[in-house]
Chains A and B, each alone.
Chain A
Amino acid sequence: MRLFDTEVQELKYKIIYELVRLELQGKVDRAFYEIPRRIAPGPNATMRCCIYKERAIVQERLKNAMGDGSISDNVVQVIDIACDECPVEHFKVTETCRGCIAHRCLSVCPVGAISFENKKARIDNEKCIECGKCMNACPYKAITENIRPCIRGCKAGAISIDKNKKAVISDEKCIECGACVYNCPFGAITDRSFVLDAIRILRDSDGGKKYKVYAALAPSIVSQFSYAKIEQIVAGLKEMGFHAVVEVALGADMVAAKEAGELAEKGFLTSSCCPSFVKYIEINYPELKRHVSGNVSPMVELSRFIKLTDESAKVIFIGPCISKKSEYRKKELSGIVDCVITFEELQALLDGMDIDVEKLEGQSLDNASYYGRIFARSGGLSEAVTHFVKEENLGIEVNAEVCDGIEQCRIALLKASKGKLDKNFIEGMACEGGCINGAACLHHGLKNRAEVDRYGKQATERKIKDTLLLNRLVDINK
């Protein structure tokens, strides 16, 4: 069975795997010399024009794999030397052009960019302003539009093309969702990784003697690692040196309860679980910022809770999300979550440490309710909040607008900003389908949604309030 959707993901995995090996051998200083040669051994190039370019690109990938933030603090970075294969022209005349005599394309072009050679239309790319009028005018549909996959994938409108025809991310507009990372067919946009930090946190714990390391596992794990059971992944994490594995869905239960209360109090609210959605509001609809729930995300909520039970605990979040890598490093959340890694990176860590989870005996994972678990898919958060409002008779009717992906978020926020949204709660998820389609999932599939619900139903606790009793066993005021 194939582990990843694409070979770009596999390449990223291989580099992190090699990096993990070198770090464990105490030879990470050799990484920039050794890893490019292992990935592109030659003599023939397999990905680019020559092995020297391939190796140069691997070095750039390595910088990101080692968390390098010298270009900008954005967790999503363009590898500019890897970005050079997309067609340069935005609009192109294809073979379908019949060389008609009407020349509608020429008539509508506002800048005179169209001429005719051997009776066929030709676009002068120096003059073309990419308005698309010629494409719409052609009766044969002979003019096609090429949109770069990164730009097509970026619903935040953060990517442009510079004068050298390379993709550039605007840090002011980027919401760090990572859609471009998953969409670029050449892997020319990638996410910075903090796996070395994770390894060092585990190693420095001295097997749990100095402090204990907790894995906070996101509920979208259910549709990942299809070759092994979740229980075996839990056993693998323990083998890696984690003291305990806790479901982030428990944090989701706690957040849903607080969010329900907040909604009842304020009357109109947007969710705050997805850091990319929150960032999208801050950038594009600052006037709505005051309506964003004051609650932290389930990741942060759970981390805080774990640290209330164990003051010296370190928490590493493991999930499908690139944006979380930005969230945990925010100044105001400093010291709560100690590291974030993705499912892609977890696979590289397990393999790099020679942990074959398929051979391990499973260990149970059961901390959250059904509702906490379904946070992993679009609509789950709203269902959880609605359930809690009813269960506790909070005296309001939840009328939720479930926004699946940034495009739907944009429409709902636009309506809300004009006072034309007939709802009192906006659930926003940047990734279409919710976290189960997060940019750093191993694979993305249609059946994932059903798996989330099935997994939710396996939870011992059916109601959110059943898990909230844990709040009575910590000093929340701390």
Chain B
Amino acid sequence: MLQIFICVGSSCHLKGSYQIIKIFEELIRANKLQDKVELKASFCLGHCTGGVSVKVGDDFLEDLTVSNAKEKFEEYIIRKLD
């Protein structure tokens, strides 16, 4: 199971982490990844730079925003699963 930690602390929340949760949930459903990917909440991942802080396994997704969330998901998460 690949764990994706999404920062829901104040700063990331204001940058759109709740929308990213919804986008990721939708992508997990659409790609039928429910058994492979698990979304987890965290109040501050200690990586408060650029975009919304999201950790996939041990790596951070850099500069993640609501507008590039779908792209990043496909690029990093789906590729990681392959």
Residues in A lying within 8 Å of B, measured CB to CB: 208, 214, 234, 243-246, 306, 309-310, 363-367, 460-461, 466, 469-470, 472-474
A-B pairs under 8 A by CB, number: 53
Interface string of B32-44 (1 = CB under 8 A from A): 0000000111111
CB contacts (< 8 Å) of A208 on chain B: these are 46
Given A243-B43, A363-B11, A460-B13, 7 other A-B residues pairs in contact with their CB atoms under 8 A: A243-B44, A243-B46, A309-B43, A364-B11, A365-B10, A366-B13, A473-B6
CB contacts (< 8 Å) of B43 on chain A: these are 214, 243-244, 246, 306, 309-310
Bound complex: CA of A246 vs CA of B7, how far in Å?
12
The residue in B9, B11, B14 that gathers the most chain A C-beta atoms within 10 A of its C-beta is: B9
Name B33-80 residues within 8 Å CB distance of A. 39-44, 46
CB contacts (< 8 Å) of A460 on chain B: these are 13-14
Bound complex: CA of A434 vs CA of B18, how far in Å?
30
> Known contacts being A473-B6, A473-B8, is A309 close to B42, with CB within 8 Å?
yes
CB contacts (< 8 Å) of A309 on chain B: these are 40-43
Contact of A469 among B21, B40, B42, B44 (CB under 8 A): B21
Bound complex: CA of A460 vs CA of B15, how far in Å?
11
CB contacts (< 8 Å) of B18 on chain A: these are 461, 466, 469
CB contacts (< 8 Å) of A245 on chain B: these are 10
Residues in B lying within 8 Å of A, measured CB to CB: 6, 8-11, 13-14, 18, 21-22, 25, 39-44, 46
Using CB atoms, name the residue of chain B closest to A306: B43
Whether B9 pairs with A244 at a CB distance below 8 angstroms is: yes
Report the minimal beta-carbon distance from A127 to chain B, rounded to whole angstroms. Answer: 65
The 3 closest A-B pairs by CB, nearest first: A473-B41, A244-B44, A244-B43
Whether A363 pairs with B10 at a CB distance below 8 angstroms is: yes
Whether A367 pairs with B8 at a CB distance below 8 angstroms is: yes
Using CB atoms, name the residue of chain A closest to B16: A460
Report the minimal beta-carbon distance from A438 to chain B, rounded to whole angstroms. Answer: 23
Bound complex: CA of A197 vs CA of B14, how far in Å?
33
Report the minimal beta-carbon distance from B32 to chain A, rounded to whole angstroms. Answer: 18
CB contacts (< 8 Å) of A472 on chain B: these are 21, 25, 39
CB contacts (< 8 Å) of A214 on chain B: these are 43
Whether A473 pairs with B21 at a CB distance below 8 angstroms is: yes
Whether A474 pairs with B40 at a CB distance below 8 angstroms is: yes
Whether A473 pairs with B10 at a CB distance below 8 angstroms is: no
Bound complex: CA of A461 vs CA of B25, how far in Å?
19
Bound complex: CA of A310 vs CA of B42, how far in Å?
7
Bound complex: CA of A244 vs CA of B8, how far in Å?
11
Bound complex: CA of A365 vs CA of B8, how far in Å?
11
CB contacts (< 8 Å) of A310 on chain B: these are 42-43
CB contacts (< 8 Å) of A469 on chain B: these are 18, 21-22
Whether B25 pairs with A470 at a CB distance below 8 angstroms is: no
Report the minimal beta-carbon distance from A254 to chain B, rounded to whole angstroms. Answer: 13
Bound complex: CA of A214 vs CA of B18, how far in Å?
20
Bound complex: CA of A367 vs CA of B13, how far in Å?
7
Bound complex: CA of A432 vs CA of B10, how far in Å?
31
Bound complex: CA of A415 vs CA of B46, how far in Å?
53
CB contacts (< 8 Å) of B10 on chain A: these are 234, 245-246, 363-367
Report the minimal beta-carbon distance from B82 to chain A, rounded to whole angstroms. Answer: 24
Bound complex: CA of A406 vs CA of B21, how far in Å?
42
8 A-B pairs within 8 Å (CB atoms) are namely: A245-B10, A246-B43, A363-B10, A363-B11, A364-B11, A367-B13, A461-B18, A473-B21
